Amino acid sequence: MRNVIPTAVAIIKDNLRSRVTLGFVIVFPLILAFIFSLLGQAFQPHVSVYVAGEGSEGLASYLNQSRLFTAYVGGNVNYVKLNDVIFVNTTSKVIYYNQLMANYVPVLKTYISSYYLHEQVPFTAQQTITKSTPVAYEISGVVGVIALSNGMFGVTGVGSGYYRDKLVERLASSPIRDYEWVLALMIYEVVITIISTLAILIVGALMGFLPDFGLTFLAGLILGTLMFSGLGAVILGLTPKEKIVLANIVANFLVLPLMFISNAFFSPSIFPSFLRLVAEYQPVSILNDIVRDTLVLGEIPNPVYVGTIFVLTLVFLGVGSRLLRLREV
């Protein structure tokens, strides 16, 4: 174990001297954070309204005839705290909304009054303050994506570069053990992900998002980074060393779908039905939910999600550490 930290420090120094690496660690996350934060503020094709209670199906069907509202049967008041939506309880006659939806409530009340025209049922509106703003959603999504890209590209990129430049042969002739080499790579990935995350959060702060940066968030971020780093180690370990460049190609094929078919930048509800479950429950989306619970809402994340990430991390790191051996060369 004594060689892990010196090896990790050497990898960090070696790679952070590269302008390409610095661009990938800092500039790429900043571009993602800036672009998608602006899109998040502009993208609002319809207002989502969840309706529950007596006669909810009829009201939802009526609202769906409008060009402004998209109504769903079901939901609860917590939806308002977590998303840019409105919730209508037809039993208690209360419209729940957050500060982001305030401008739509008078129009919605007009539609509801029109639907209940002959019953003259008064609905009251109740506002809830939410931290889950569009900027917060996009910034937290970029954090999850960076854990993915840094984790996978970091391992495959650094590892393939070391094989290509014959540095692995020098490491193999040193006292460093295989597991120390893998652990050093993992430490490097965690360090660059934290650097990237700090850069992202600075952009978020400039755009009005003040994160709840605590130990729970940091632990989730590290765990997610290790999960994707372990997957990168599996890819690198399975790649024939005479064709090591294939590791980065395979990583690209995995990263891009995981990045965009997720809840990182858009709600899973916008995806076609056959992709919706994938977008909601694949590893990047689960990590994003953990990040949003801790970084945006300041809450304890779903233990099932944490357990899922923890198990995947153990599996990927376990398999990756067995496949990624220094002394195969």
Starting at the edge strand found earlier in the chain, the sheet holding 47-52 runs 69-73, 47-52, 85-89, 94-98, 124-128
Q: Which amino acid is at 125?
A: A
Write the DSSP assignment of 227-274 as a string of letters: HHHHHHHHHHHHS-GGGTTHHHHHHHHHHHHHHHSSSSSS-GGGS-HH
Half-sphere exposure of 27 (CA within 13 A, CB side): 6
The DSSP H or E segment spanning 276 is helix 273-281
**What pTM value is reported for the model?**
0.78
Sign of CA dihedral 65, 67, 69, 70: positive
Q: Which H or E run contains 146?
A: helix 134-164
pLDDT at position 329: 46
* 3-state SS class at 73: strand
Asked if 63 and 113 touch (Cβ cutoff 8 Å), the reply is no
What residue segments make up the domains of the chain, in order of their start? 4-40+134-328, 45-83+85-128
Q: How far apart are CA 175 and CA 293, in angstroms?
A: 43
| Tokens, residue 80 | 């308002």
Which CA distances in Å does 86 have to 72, 110, 125, 126, 177? 10, 14, 10, 10, 56
Q: Are 198 and 190 in contact (CB under 8 A)?
A: no
C-alpha to C-alpha distance for 293 and 287, rounded to whole angstroms: 10
> How high is the pLDDT of residue 327?
59
The one-digit pLDDT tens for each residue of the chain (329 residues) are: 667 777 778 777 777 777 767 676 777 777 777 676 665 555 555 788 999 998 899 999 999 998 889 899 988 888 887 777 899 999 999 999 988 888 889 999 999 998 887 777 788 999 887 777 888 888 999 999 999 999 998 888 888 888 887 777 777 777 778 788 888 889 999 999 999 999 999 988 888 888 888 899 999 999 999 999 999 999 988 888 788 888 888 898 999 899 999 988 887 877 888 888 899 999 999 999 999 999 988 889 999 999 999 999 999 999 988 888 775 54
Rounded to 10 deg, the angle between the 273-281 and 283-291 helix axes is: 60
pLDDT for 328? 58
CA separation for the pair 317, 231 (Å, rounded): 7
